[in-house]
Chains A and B, each alone.
Chain A
Amino acid sequence: MTDRRLLEVKGLVKSFGGLKATNDLNFDLIEGEIHGVIGPNGAGKTTFVSQLQGQLLPDLGEILLDGEDVTRLPAHLRARRGVARSFQITSLVPSFTALANVMLAVQGGQGHSFRFWKRAWTDDALAGPAHVALATVGLDHKANAVVADLGHGECRQLELAMALAMKPRLLLLDEPMAGMGRKDGAAMTDLVARLKGRTSIVLIEHDMEAVFRLADRISVLVAGRVIKTGLPEEVRADEEVRAAYLGHSH
């Protein structure tokens, strides 16, 4: 692993009314690593991810992607630069099939969609990569199922397939195992493990076992601020982290 920083976040602040959901947050991501982000409920993890992806704009601070300032760049342009996200609360196109959802993501990765003539659903340039992404997450057998007919675990897999279909350089995973059963959760953990090295990942996850297994480094987010970043062993051993977080949840 080189030490090239794909992502750098400096002094990020985001307030909702009086609440500082992100409070002078510093963070960095080395190309190729899985960087776990843990923290108690309401710590500001999702808010942080939303600012990285562009759905929310920070009040202060800066976000550098590849050394370039993307702090105010609209979400769709960040997506074009290879930032993909899976949502904590599943966010799909409900009336589309699983395949059509992934085809949409492939389409987004192929430049503008001002194409009015060729039929999208017979376009192998969309369907081909979409099938590959579905197969990667183990959902190809449900390609024809409408989202409404998919189970919760399958929707989570589909979220990930959509993100992967964009061939992301930076993958933002917001609790990909949330609400999954033991078996599905384990399968998802294996899947993320297989992605290691193929892309850089910010992994938010409540399942400690999974994070400590997957992450190269871990940052602990408490009250909108990173209180500790380090190797999994260092974080596990840290007194402040135990007091602030691990002690409560275990």
Chain B
Amino acid sequence: MAEFDPHRPSTIDRVAPIAAIAILAAVPPVAGLLGDPFLIKVATRVVVFAIAAIGLNLVVGYAGLVSLLHAGLFGVGGYVVGVAAWHEFNGEALGLGPVAWAGTADLAITLPLAGLLAGIVALVTGVVSLRTSGPYFLMITLAFDQMLYYGAVALQKYGGEDGLQILSTITFAGRDVSARTPFFYLALTILAATVFLLGRVVGSRFGVVLRAAAENERRVTVTGIPPYAYRLTAFVVSGVVCGLAGALLASGQQFVSPADMSWVRSGDLVVMAVLGGLSTLWGPIVGAAAFVVLELVLSSWTQYWQLAFGAIIVVVVLTLRGGLADLVKLATQGRDAR
């Protein structure tokens, strides 16, 4: 009984994320066979942006709120890793009021911290921006993103506009994860955990409220549920996830800079989510993969790659309402998918 929700994941929705993670997991051995370690770098980038796009999609796809703040939250996570590593490397304690912290390059500490700090920033900004909707929400989140961006530029001690190099060896619980392959699998594990946990969230009562409120806020209110608190929670969760992704990007490229926090980068994250498909949890993984690979391939062909990229986005959005995820569904289900 009771299996009637239109959002109940279909077989594809259950299998696709597992398949995507399995395919990604196969990249390092395949790269080894091909003698092309660069593939692992690309796959790491895909995984990191997939985490961010999935986190963002909770707000954009499920709650129906297009945010331009999330590159900022992503950057907050990156700076947590960068600053902690800087203090560790330079042997200079970070004074936090009465306590002094030596800093660390251990992700077992900095990842949770990155998530926490990004979550707090999301909470503070969300409290204000979620009082608005539509274009106003877009503008306010953009403004907050600019504030975070210039906040990072103002961190003169940590490289200011030039960004911050991470010179320590990145570890996880004491183990060296700075090499390509172990780092990739660490990131992939976090992606898998994100997909699993958010998969439960979007199918829960909480997830139902988010989706219903995106379509008909008034209806949700008259049933006795105030959407604001639920949206705020989703906003914070998505901030935490983006913070983790940003921490991973910074660790992987051993560099973090304000450039990653500009609102244009927020736009990129939105594009990944839309390109992949907003209505599924796994769509953003496809979107992130498509984005990263297209960016790489097209930019190696021409410096005007963004022109071609834009054209591809237009075609996808116009032809596939559910993004690239729809294409996967069509290919696996045959003609009667829709």
Which A residues are closer than 8 A to B by beta carbons?
53, 55, 74-77, 79-80, 84-85, 91-97, 99-100, 103-105, 107-109, 112-124, 126-128, 143-144, 146, 162, 166
Chain A residues whose C-beta falls within 8 Å of the C-beta of B180 in the assembled complex: none
Chain B residues whose C-beta falls within 8 Å of the C-beta of A91 in the assembled complex: 216, 218-219
Cα separation A211 to B1 with both chains bound (whole Å): 38
Cα separation A234 to B222 with both chains bound (whole Å): 34
Cα separation A76 to B217 with both chains bound (whole Å): 11
Are A113's CB and B209's CB within 8 A? yes
Smallest Cβ distance from B235 to chain A, in angstroms? 14
Smallest Cβ distance from B200 to chain A, in angstroms? 5
Smallest Cβ distance from A48 to chain B, in angstroms? 16
Chain B residues whose C-beta falls within 8 Å of the C-beta of A74 in the assembled complex: 226
* Known contacts A100-B5, A124-B1; is-contact A107 B215 (Cβ 8 Å): no
Chain A residues whose C-beta falls within 8 Å of the C-beta of B221 in the assembled complex: 55, 75-76, 79
Contact residues, B69-123 vs A (CB, 8 A)? none
Q: CB-CB contacts of B1-30 with A at 8 A, as 1s and 0s?
A: 111111110000000000000000000000
Are B224's CB and A76's CB within 8 A? yes
Cα separation A77 to B218 with both chains bound (whole Å): 13
Cα separation A100 to B207 with both chains bound (whole Å): 12
Are B3's CB and A121's CB within 8 A? yes
Which B residues are closer than 8 A to A by beta carbons?
1-8, 200-201, 203-209, 211-212, 215-216, 218-226, 229-230, 233
Chain B residues whose C-beta falls within 8 Å of the C-beta of A128 in the assembled complex: 2
Chain B residues whose C-beta falls within 8 Å of the C-beta of A121 in the assembled complex: 2-5, 7-8, 203
Query: How many residue pairs bridge A and B at CB < 8 Å?
Result: 133
Chain A residues whose C-beta falls within 8 Å of the C-beta of B212 in the assembled complex: 93, 96, 104
Q: Which 8 A-B pairs have the closest CB atoms?
A: A108-B223, A127-B2, A79-B224, A121-B5, A108-B224, A113-B205, A115-B205, A99-B4
* Known contacts A75-B221, A105-B223, A107-B209; is-contact A97 B4 (Cβ 8 Å): yes
Are B5's CB and A166's CB within 8 A? no
Contact of B224 among A93, A114, A166 (CB under 8 A): A166
Are A143's CB and B4's CB within 8 A? yes
Cα separation A97 to B7 with both chains bound (whole Å): 9
Main SS class of interface, B: helix
User: Can you spell out 5 A-B residue pairs with CB atoms less than 8 angstroms apart?
Assistant: A92-B219, A107-B225, A113-B209, A118-B204, A143-B4
Chain B residues whose C-beta falls within 8 Å of the C-beta of A75 in the assembled complex: 221-222
Cα separation A104 to B4 with both chains bound (whole Å): 13
* Known contacts A85-B222, A93-B216, A107-B225; is-contact A114 B6 (Cβ 8 Å): no
Contact of B206 among A53, A103, A113 (CB under 8 A): A113
Smallest Cβ distance from A29 to chain B, in angstroms? 18
Smallest Cβ distance from A158 to chain B, in angstroms? 11
Are B6's CB and A107's CB within 8 A? no
Chain B residues whose C-beta falls within 8 Å of the C-beta of A55 in the assembled complex: 218, 221-222
Task: Select from chain A the residue with minimum beta-carbon distance to B228.
Answer: A76
Chain A residues whose C-beta falls within 8 Å of the C-beta of B225 in the assembled complex: 76, 107-108, 112-113
Chain B residues whose C-beta falls within 8 Å of the C-beta of A146 in the assembled complex: 6
Cα separation A85 to B1 with both chains bound (whole Å): 28
Chain A residues whose C-beta falls within 8 Å of the C-beta of B207 in the assembled complex: 116, 120
* Known contacts A76-B225, A108-B223; is-contact A100 B4 (Cβ 8 Å): yes
